[in-house]
Amino acid sequence: MTELLKPPGDDRDVRWQWPGIHPEGHKYIAIAAVVALIFFWFGWGLLAWPTVALTIWIAAFFRDPARTTPIGEGLIVAPADGLVTLISDVLPPAELTGPDGLDDQLMTRVSIFMSVFDVHVNRAPIGGTIRDVVYISGKFVNAELDKASEENERQHILIESNNGQKIGMTQIAGLVARRIVPFVKPGDMVVAGQRVGLIRFGSRVDIYLPAGTGPKIALGQRAVAGETVIAQIGKDRRVFGVSQ
């Protein structure tokens, strides 16, 4: 029999639970539900049942499950749920660089693509202080494309840890996404895994790893926001995977 291992002194009763619904989705669920009721009221079943299905899908889209974030020196956790579609060495966005930002040098960028079926609440990859939040309007091309990092509507978030390490992440709108909702502002304190924003209806999140840090996640892997360790600061041993 497999026994659940817990840290000494941790006596939590860990059980599966229904995920909550983020407040950002309440109005959309209510609108869809009211429309469905109106269709039923007039006896338009052919329209009512698809609207019921749409209401359920919207509730599922805005689900906001609790996450358990690992604690450890220098750990960087995934900022988003989804598929790791790109890992490349690039210059960070100009909006994130400068005297008080990231260094203007090649960094490893890990891109996580969120389909419309993934949880869309984004979380802080590290704990620290929000130093900057920069919104940029743009296009809505397929978020899986590399050019989406420079052409799409996006929002950059710069976080500085207590020891001065800075991590940049970018929320990118996609074909269907039309709204990036921030939960934080410059000066806010966050802990690793804390909710920092949400993107509606399909999108992508990029995270820029500091120099000397390699990803511990491989292309094609699925990341879980606030839980999956994607890197450890100062550790540059990359991992690779096999699809099977």
- The catalytic site residues sit at 203
State the Cα torsion 17-23-52-19 to the nearest 10°.
-10
Sheet with 121-123, strands from edge to edge, namely 121-123, 195-199, 180-182
Cβ-proximal residues to 84 (8 Å cutoff; 6+ apart), any chain: 110, 111, 112, 113, 217, 218, 219, 220, 221, 222, 223
If you search the block for the tokens 């920069």, which residue do you land on? 134
Three-class DSSP category at 226: coil
Nearest alpha carbon to residue 68 among 168, 161, 192, 158: 192
